[in-house]
Amino acid sequence: MAEKVVENGKLSEYSLDTKSNSITHIYYDGPDATYEITSSYEYTYDANGKMLTYKKHSDGDLKSPVTWSAEHTYDANGNKLIDKGHSGDLNSAVTYSSESTYDANGNKLTYKEHSDGDLNSPVNDEETNSDFMPVDFALKFNI
């Protein structure tokens, strides 16, 4: 399924899978497809609709080189465990990464960001969470 939208005088064209996830997204420099393509994106998803990969082609259509890409890993409950960013295609060096842990209720316990590279590079931002509202309290008060 393909969709087209014109916003601020520029055409945005995207294709969707059967779950309405965007598979490709193409941006034009004007209100229709006769104008130059300014950037395009590709996405892949798992069976649950969680994004696995993202590729950006900033120099034009989907045939132009990938200038940024990302990959995501999830646990069995759908919580995002690992993000990896690449300054190029998915085979290029990892230039950003993050990792998270969760408790059995899906509350994020830890987050570590490695903005200088892969998960083995030094951590430059870290968060630890422990104050979570009990599930029964949230249900009781419809929060």
**What's the DSSP call for residue 36?**
P
- What is the pTM assigned to this prediction? 0.80
Distance CA 2, CA 52 (A): 21
Q: Where are the domains positioned within the chain?
A: 67-140
Distance CA 55, CA 131 (A): 36
Distance CA 25, CA 16 (A): 9
Q: Note the pLDDT tens digit of each residue in 47-87.
A: 999 999 999 999 889 999 999 999 999 999 999 999 999 99
Confidence of residue 141 (pLDDT cuts 50, 70, 90): low
Buried b (16+ CB within 10 A) or exposed e, 67-86: bbbbbbeeeeeeebeebbbb
